[in-house]
Structure 1
Amino acid sequence: MSLVLVVDDSATVRNDVAGFLQQNGLQVVTAQDGREGLEQLKRHQDIRLVICDVNMPNMDGLTMAEKSRSELRSSAPIIMLTTESCPKMKERGKAAGVKGWIVKPFNGPSTIGAIRKLASA
């Protein structure tokens, strides 16, 4: 079973996304900001996919994505789940290895196919 990391400072979003993924057969660990997300990536070497917000306190999602690649050498695919749709942010994400950009609100049924594909790659 694939392990997915969900990172969002909103407990509601974090719980909704995690619950949906668990109902669809995925294991989930969560983090409330980028710093905690990096800690989870260190702790769980078997994380297969990261779903992450952009705007969070302590460390934003794009910085977390950059550090996961440069400092941890993580190859887990990253999908940003955010209200941001700024082309500059998307470019920064692409440079950091972000594989997808989902604009909130999260629509699980329309994304589960892509999530499963990335988590099993």
Structure 2
Amino acid sequence: MITSYAQLITVAGQQPEPQRLLFVFCRAELSDDASDSEKQRFEEGCGGALSPVVCVDKSPSDVATFEVLQEESRYTGQAWDIVFVAAMAGRGGIAPSADEASQPLNMMVEKIRLGEVSGFLPFNRQGELVSLSGS
């Protein structure tokens, strides 16, 4: 069981086939018609909906630390609260290309939009693995 970003990178490197990591950065948002209690919970850091704002695929060596990933995310100019991560295995000793990762990354974005996040690792801005209710 993966419990940290560093462990994710280590486990990715130990797989029999080279990996490509898929990242979807999301911002927590509150709907315009939110109730007062929903607004209060949101202000306390709970509730709301996660909306994808940026997605990217990387080799584990490109983002070997969470700090590197976080720094790269700053270049997008998009604020984010949670990043979801998934891994994609290569074959025949060759890591998946960015082109091969495109469709799975788009599917990941769509699943997140639908609230289907149980198959992904969610990390907060501090690089801590978080538990999301309903995931």
- Greater share of helix residues, 1 or 2? 1
Higher relative contact order (Cα pairs below 8 Å, separated by 6+ residues): 2
Q: TM-score range by the shorter chain?
A: under 0.3
Q: TM-score, normalised by structure 2?
A: 0.24
* Larger-gyration structure (1/2): 2
TM-score (norm 1): 0.25
